[in-house]
Structure 1
Amino acid sequence: MQTFVESMITITAVSILLRLLSKEKLDKKSSSIDKFSVRGGSFLAGIGIFGAVFFLAMMVLAYFVKETSIAVYIIFGIFVGISLFLLIVTFPGADEIHVDHDDITRQRAWIFKKHWTFAQIDYAKIDHNGMHIYIKGKKRQAFLVDNYYNGYSNFKKRLIHDHIEIRQKIMSPKDLEQEKKKWDKITWIIVIVGVAVCALVYFLSN
């Protein structure tokens, strides 16, 4: 019974996190397309804080009810790590794009930087992850503008302003419904696999 309750708690929490991530985020509005930054904001930070606090609380609760299965602590610890990662990427300099007129600076882990200009951009391709930016003369994408990050709409407006081609598949209502069903299935698969792994490790450790 205890294992069942733990599994239900895990299913509920993971479902909430995945549902939040699958929803359209609220992009912070800014009128400037000449000088701005693209980075994770309060939306991702909120999910990260919620996830970290929730799963840490579950670990503490498991300790006080004298849970001896290491599987419980491993699973909760993994989700705490994922939540903290979502929170960390919202910190200034952790993962962001700086636009200063024609200059584009991609910064990661506070010290790694790459530079491009809008004049170098060949085209952008939009999918469910965001905008994939391709540079003239290169087949591989240069960088991704994440659609969960603040400043995404600014970057898109800047591309339109500079008459840079944006390739986007136009989806019919039927296509949108199929896409929604696909992500619903993926959500449940992830949840079921997570619970199955938790149950497997639990039984192997006993």
Structure 2
Amino acid sequence: MNQAAIIPQSEIEDWQLPSRGIVGMACLILAEAAIFLIFVVAYLFYIGKSLSGPTPHDVLELPVFTSICLLSSSLTVHLAVTSLHKGAQSLCSLWLGATVLLGGIFLVGTGMEWHHLIYRDGLTIRTNLFGTTFYSLVGLHATHVIVGLFMLSLALLFSLRGQMSSRDTGRLEVLSLYWHFVDAVWVVVFLVVYVLGR
């Protein structure tokens, strides 16, 4: 028998099952990614097929500032997890607050964009194929941002009340995975809707 193939007993004992929270979140992310893929494909399929205006080129502007805010929130939530892991609860609260603020700015920016599109440009979900696919895809993402902000706000509340410690790092890490997913999806939505679609 090959000696290199024998695993020391100490390594076998140290091995643990992955966290149920991380496995569960990974499964949720895979399912959500499939849903987003369907919406992205539908958007790409219907680009340029609207029989009436307005078109994406006529009304869409690049949401650069809000995109920077949302993508920066991935860093701040990572720093919150790292701070909690080190036992720096007040620093964790600070970074969670920054994450909620950045996500909130993104959401307000999306709302302002929609208000502008509906009331100035006359683009609603029933206007044409572009309106239907745009509001469906961007709205699906905005819904995920709202859910993420709600959960992050709860985590911030627990942190501010001193009800989080380094023992809760795993839970906050699971939540941060969801938020990273929301940010990663925005990169795809931004490229498809605002770059390729224009």
> Normalised by the size of structure 2, how large is the TM-score?
0.41
Between Structure 1 and Structure 2, which shows a larger proportion of strand residues?
A: 1
TM-score normalized by the length of structure 1: 0.40
Q: Which has the higher contact order (CA 8 A, sep 6+)?
A: 2
Say which structure is richer in helix: 2
